Structure 1
Amino acid sequence: MTMESPFTQHLHTNYVPSETEAKAIKAHLVPHASEASRLQALIEDLCAQRQRELDYIAAHEALLSPARRLPQDVLQEMFLACLPTTRDAVMSAREAPLLLCRICSAWRAIALSIPALWASLHMPLQHIFERTFTGPPIMWLERSGRCPLSLSLVGARTMEHFETYESEFIDPLFYYLEGCAHRLQSITMDYSSTDGMLRLKDMYSPILVTAKIQAVLDEIMEMKLLTSPSLRRVHLRISGYLDNGIAGVPLRWGCLTHLIIHAFVDRYPQSGLSPKMALDILARCSRLISFTVDTNNSSEQTLSHSSAESPLILRCLRELILCRCNSPLGPNSISHILRNLIMPELRTIQLPRTETSQRGTFPFLCDLAGRSPLVEELHIDLARLAPASLADTIPMLHSLKRLYVLAYETPGFANVDQLLALLVPEPGGAPPCPLLGELQITDCPLTTITGDITTFATRMLDGGCNGFTRLDINFTLWMPPIEAEVYAGLASRGLILSNITFSSAWGQRISYVFLVVH
C-alpha cells in the first residue's frame, strides 16, 4: 500500500485543516488502519507460534536437565544435606524436609522414601497443643521408620489445663514418644514437672549418645534416659546450688566424653559447683575430652593453697572451660582447680573473670605450662594474677596459637606491658610462642600507648613469628588512631590489626581496622 499522502506538506506543522480536509484525512486513513490491524493480527499469530515453539523446546530440554539425570542415591544424599546442622528440623514449609516435598511429585516421593530425612524434629508442646496439632508430629516420626531419632522438646506452660480438658489430644503424642524412646540418639528437653515433661521421665534409650536437659536437680535425678550406657555428650542446665545432689545424677560418668554443667539461675552467688565438687566430678570422668562448668565462690576463703599429694590426671581432656555465669570467680577457686589437675593433652583452656575484691596477687596459673604443655588456646583475666605466675607460664607455652586476655590495670598485678614483653622474641633469639597467630586484648589500659602496640607487632614479625596474623586491641578509653601508613606496612606483611577505642565523651565505640586479603 502506498504511503504517499496528499497532506505531506502539512505534516509535522501547526496547520489546521478545514472541515472538508478533515473528512478527506479520515477517508485517507481508513485503508491504512485496516492494514495496521491486519499486521497486528499477523504479529500476534507469529508471537503465538513462536511461544509454542519455545514451549516445545523447553519441554524437551527439561528432559535433559542435569537434576533429572542424578541417580536417586545422590539425590537422597543432597536431601539429607539440606537438613539443619546445628538444631533439629522444624515443621515449616520453608525448610527441609517439608520444603522438598513441595517442589514436584517426584521429589516428594523421594523425600517420603528417606526415613533419615524425618529422624529429627523440634517439638514446642505449647504450640502443638494449642492448635490440637498432635497428628502431624506423630506422622512425621512414623516416616522415620527405624532410624535413630534426634528430638528437642519444650514443655507446655499450661499443661495442667491440657491434661484436664484436652487429654484426648495430648495423650496420643506422649504415648507415641514413650513408644519410640528406644530409638532416641539425641534429646534436648526443657524439662519441668509443671509443663508435662515429667510424664517422660521413664523413657529409656539404649542408643542415646547426646542429652541436653534443663530442669531442677530433683527432676533430673528421676530421668532414666541419663542411665543409658551409650551416653557420651551431656549438657545439664540446673537451677541453684548443685553440690548437694549433682553426684547423685544417674549418669555413667566414666563413659562421658563431653560434659557441660551450667547453673541457669545465675543471680544467686552459690549457683553452680564449688571447686571441690568440680574436681570430684572430673575424678569420675576418666574419658572426658571437653568439660565446661559453672563454678561458685562458696569455699573461696577455705580452699587450701597447696597442691594435692596426688593431683588428678586427665589423660583425654582437651578442652577445659571454667565459667561463673558471666560473673567473677575468686582467684583461690581458680588456683585450687588448676593445682589439682594434670592435663597432658589439653588444647584449650578458658579461665573466668577474676574476682578483684580480695587483696594481694595470686599465682593462680600454677604450673599450667608444665602440666599442660600442649595448650593452643588460652583465655585469661590478668586481675589478681601475680606477675611471676604470668612470667613462668606464657613463655613456656610453645604450642600456643590463640591468646585472649582481659586486661586489668592495678599496681602489682600482671599487666599488658609485661605480657607483650614476654611474647616478644629477644634479639637474635627464638620467639617464646612461635606458633602464636592471634592475640586479643580486651579493656587495654591507657598506659599501653598506641606506639607500644605497633612496636610490639613489628618486633613480633621481625622476630620470626610468621604465623602472627591477627592483633585485636580494645582500649578502655579513646586513643588516637594508628596512622594509615603503619596499618599498610603491617598489612603488607600479613598482619590484620584492629584498634578499637571508646570515646570518653560519648561512650561511643570506634574501630580502626586495616584488612588485607591474601
Structure 2
Amino acid sequence: MTTSLSSPVVSVSSEHETSTGHDNTSSRTGVIYHLPLELLREIFILCLTHDRSPNRNVAPLLICHVCSRWRDLAFSVPELWNELRLSYNPFKGPVDAFMRTYIDATELWFRCIGRYCPFSYILDLPPKVISHNAERSFTSPLPPSLRFLALKMNEVSQLTTHIHLHADGLASLERMRISISSDLSSFSSVMRSFPFGSAIRLRRLALDIEGRCVIPRLAPSPWTQLTHLVLGHDLSLVTWHEIIRYCTQLQECFVEISTPSLGLSVSNPIGIKDETTLLHLTDLTLLFSDAPDIVAAVEGLHFPAITSLHLECAYGSRFYLSLEPVQRIFRNAQLKSLTLRQGPQYAEDLLGILEITTTLDHLEVSCGMEQAHFLSRLRCLPLADGPTLVPQLTSLVLVVLDYNFDRWSFSSQAFIDTVQSRWWVVSDGDGDAQLPTVSCLKYVSLAIDDRHTDTQDEVRGMLVPLIAQGLHADVHAITHDDWLGQCYLYMDPQLYCDWDYNK
C-alpha cells in the first residue's frame, strides 16, 4: 500500500510547488493529507530518490514545502536526512550564492539527522569554491552522536582547515570513509589533521586518498581499535607496514600497494625487524598497482586466522607463490577462499599452494593457456591412488587468456574430465560413500579468450549433460580489455566500503 501511495504523495508535493493556491491542491487530495503519521513516515521514505542533494524538486525538501504538518513530520524522520550530496557541477550562479545555499542545507540536514543515525556526507567540490570561501565550513558542526560518515572531496583544505573544530561530534563515530581526489593532497596531511583521537568508537575506516603518500609519523590511533580497514591508491610499502603493525584487532583488510621494484624480492626488502601476528584477521585483499611483490607485502606478518585471501594485479607479472613467506600463509591458516587475478601464472607455483591447502572450498584463478594444465591435477582420484588436491572444493572460477606465447591448445577434454570427477548426483542411499573425504563440486565458471569461440562452443557443449543433471555451470568469452577492466574495478575501494550498518 505504501508503495502505491508514494507516487501520489510526490504528485501532491509537486502540485503544491506549482499551484497558486493551497486549497486547490488539497481539495483534490485530502485523503493523502490526512493519512496517519506512521503511514506518512513510510511513504515519505519511499519518496526518496538517488538524488540526495538539497533540491527543492525532490524529497525531502519537496515534501517540506507542502504544508506545516508535513514539514514538521519530515523534520522528525531521520531516515529522510541520512545522506547529503553537495556538488558544484549542477549549480548555476555565483559562488557566494552556492556557498550560502549549501551551508544552509548542511545545517538543516545535521539538525534533522538526530542521534545514533547513520549519515553519509558526500562533499564533491572544486578547489576554487573552497579557496574562495576558506572561512566557511561545510563540516560545521558535525551532527551529535554521528555513527557513519562518508566524506568525498576534490581538495583537502576543507578537511584540514575545519575538521579539528568538530571533535565533539566524533565520539560515537563507528564507520568512516574519506575520499580525496586531488593530486595535491597527501595521506600525511589527512592523518595529521583529522582528530582520530576523539573517534574512540571508530571500528571501520576507509581512506582513498590520491596524491602524495608521504610517510607519516603514525600515532597508534585510530589503527589499534580498527576491525575493518580499506586503504586505496598506491600506498607505499613502508607506510603499509607501519599501519598494519598497529592493527592488532583487524578482521578484514583491503589495501592497494605500490611496489616500485620489479621482479623477485630480496629477503626483508625494507628493513623490517619485528614480527607481527594478526590473530583476528580473516579476510585479506592485496592489490598491487605495480609488480605483485607479495613477499615484500607480507614480510614479518602472520595470519593464523585467515580464511579468505584475494591477490590482484592488473599487470602481466606473475605472483611468486613458491617463496617461503607466501607458503607460510597457506601452511598456517585454514583458507576457505582463494582468488588469484594476475597475468601468466606458473602452474607449478599454484600447484605447490594447492598441495598444502586442504580446506579450500572456493578457487578463482586467472591464467594463460600454457598454465591451464594444472586443472588435470585437480581431478578427483580414487582413494587407492592417493589424496585429491583441495578435497573440499565446491566452487571453481577460471579465466584463461591467450598471451600468444605458443599456439592455442586449451584441452577441453581435460577440463571436462576434472569437472566430471568432482561432481556427481547424490541419490538416496549412496551419498558420498565412495568419496567420503571429497566434496561435490557445485558451481563452475569458465571464461575463455574471446578469440577462441570454437573452444568456448566445445566446452559449452560438453557441459550440457552435466548441467541437465543439476550442475551450475557457465562458459563465456572474455577480452584482455575486459579482464583488465575487471581488475581495475576490483581495485575500486568503494566496493569494499559498503559496510552493513547492522554488523
User: Aligned Cα RMSD in Å?
Assistant: 4.2
Q: Counterpart in 2 of 1:47?
A: none
Residue in structure 2 matching 1:417, options 347, 351, 373: 373
1:121 aligns with 2:90: no
Q: Which of 444, 452, 465 is the aligned partner of 1:489? A: 465
Partner residue in 1 for 2:254: 292
Displacement of 1:491: 0.9
One-letter amino acid of the structure 1 residue matched with residue 204 of structure 2: R
The answer to whether structure 1 residue 209 and structure 2 residue 208 are counterparts is no
SS of residue matched to 1:288: coil
Structure 1 gaps, min length 5 = 1-58, 264-270, 508-518
Structure exhibiting the larger radius of gyration computed from Cα positions: 1
Deviation at 1:195, TM superposition (A): 6.1
TM-score by length of structure 1 reads 0.66
Alpha-carbon deviations, 1:143-180, whole Å to 9, x = none? Answer: 2344544322223332267428xx7xxx3xx2x73233
Separation (CA, whole Å) in 2 of partners of 1:347 and 1:123: 39
Verify the 8 A CA contact 2:56 2:62 in the aligned structure 1. yes
For residue 280 of structure 2, what is the amino acid of its counterpart? C
Match of 1:266 in 2: none
Q: Does 1 or 2 have the higher relative contact order (CA < 8 Å, sep 6+)?
A: 2
Change beyond 3 A, Cα 1:108–1:484: same
With normalisation by structure 2, the TM-score equals 0.68
**Percent of counterpart pairs with the same letter?**
17
Q: CA deviation at 1:407?
A: 0.3
User: Structure 1's 313 and 357: CA in aligned 2 closer, same or farther, altered over 3 A?
Assistant: closer
Find the counterpart in structure 2 of residue 398 from structure 1: 358
Q: Which residue of 1 aligns with 2:107?
A: 138
Deviations 1:386-438 (A, max 9, x none): 71x4233214433323222110356xxxx2211x1332210247754344333
Distance between the aligned counterparts of 1:488 and 1:249, measured in 2?
Answer: 58
In the TM superposition, what is the alpha-carbon distance from 1:319 to its structure 2 partner? 1.4
2:139 aligned counterpart, secondary structure = helix
TM-superposed CA distance for 1:105, in Å, is 8.3
What is residue 7 of structure 2 aligned with on the other side?
A: none
User: Which structure 2 segments of 5+ residues have no match?
Assistant: 1-26, 403-407, 425-434, 483-503
Q: Which residue of 2 aligns with 1:232?
A: 203
Q: CA deviation at 1:343?
A: 1.7
Determine the structure 2 residue equivalent to 1:427.
382
Quick one: which amino acid aligns to residue 152 of structure 2? D
Secondary structure of the equivalent of 1:488?
helix
In the alignment, structure 1 residue 460 sits paired with structure 2 residue 422: yes
Given candidates 99, 107, 124, the residue that maps to 1:154 is: 124
Q: Quick one: structure 1 residues 161 and 294, their matched pair in 2 at CA, closer, same or farther if it must change by over 3 Å?
A: closer
Contact 1:192/1:216 (<8 A) preserved: no
The within-5 A match list for 1:336-347 is 336-338=296-298, 340-347=300-307
Seen in structure 2, the aligned counterparts of structure 1 residues 309 and 112 have a Cα distance that, compared at 3 Å, is closer
The alignment status of 1:472 with 2:428, answered yes or no, reads no
**CA–CA separation in structure 2 for the residues paired with 1:503 and 1:222:** 44
Match for residue 442 of structure 1 among 399, 414, 423: 399
Contact persistence 1:407–1:444 (CA under 8 A): yes
Q: How many residues align?
A: 412
Deviation at 1:483, TM superposition (A): 6.9
Cα distance, 1:108–1:456 mapped onto 2, change above 3 Å: farther
Equivalent residues in 2 for 1:59-98, closer than 5 Å:
76=41, 89-92=52-55, 97-98=60-61
Distance in 1, matches of 2:388 and 2:59, equals 51
